[in-house]
């Protein structure tokens, strides 16, 4: 699963961002201070991870003075979901008359059908592919091995049984 297109409008320090990322392996984001580089990356994480997936989710996500904002992230399909076409994550905000901000998140398949539990689905997809090198470094060696096996889809239980048997045989000797 890859980010194919990313758009943000009136979010954080961003007026408009539109990044066509399909087929690109590296995207360079540059500019002077205060131009929205960090806001663009933060907004992308907000759409994909949500409040529960971020340490510091912005209290006021809308750009100053704006009544509404939106982030749209188009993702390539996922074979595990039997979805060969795209998925689209949409995160929108509307400021109500009293100043309170209403947030809505939707995850749409290629036919426009909405996922019933969009955040749960995205979290599952993220967990399948996420790898935090710092967290990995803190794991015990056995946990590191298990993590690598899980990420690569390796089942080494056959070898574990064989090793256990050899260990027992050597212990008897």
Which of 41, 22, 48 has its CA nearest to residue 107? 48
| Mean pLDDT, rounded, for 10-28 | 85
Residues 129-157: pLDDT tens digits?
555 667 778 889 998 888 888 777 788 88
* DSSP run (H or E) holding 4: strand 3-11
For the chain, give every domain's residue range: 3-130, 134-172
| pLDDT band at 70; cut points 50, 70, 90 | very high
pTM of the full predicted structure?
0.64
- CB contact at 8 A, 122 and 89: yes
Lowest mean pLDDT among 59-63, 124-128, 138-142: 124-128
Q: Tens digits of per-residue pLDDT, 107-120?
A: 887 777 777 776 66
Give the residues across from 109 on adjacent strands. Answer: none
CATH topology of domain 3-130: Rossmann fold (3.40.50)
């Amino acid at each position: 699963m890859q980010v194919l297109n990313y758009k943000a409008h009136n979010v954080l320090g961003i007026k408009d961002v539109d990044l066509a990322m399909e087929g690109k392996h590296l995207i360079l984001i540059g500019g002077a201070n205060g131009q929205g580089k960090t806001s663009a990356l933060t907004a992308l994480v907000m759409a994909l991870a949500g409040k529960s997936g971020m340490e510091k989710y912005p209290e006021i996500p809308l750009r100053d003075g704006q009544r509404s904002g939106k982030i749209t992230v188009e993702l390539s399909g996922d074979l595990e979901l039997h979805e060969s076409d795209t998925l689209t994550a949409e995160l929108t905000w509307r400021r109500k008359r009293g100043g309170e901000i209403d947030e809505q998140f939707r995850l749409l398949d290629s036919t426009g059908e909405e996922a019933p539990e969009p955040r749960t689905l995205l979290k599952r997809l993220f967990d399948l592919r996420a790898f935090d090198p710092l967290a990995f470094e803190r794991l015990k060696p056995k946990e590191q091995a298990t993590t690598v096996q899980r990420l690569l889809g390796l089942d080494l239980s056959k070898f574990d049984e064989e090793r256990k048997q050899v260990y027992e045989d050597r212990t008897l000797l």
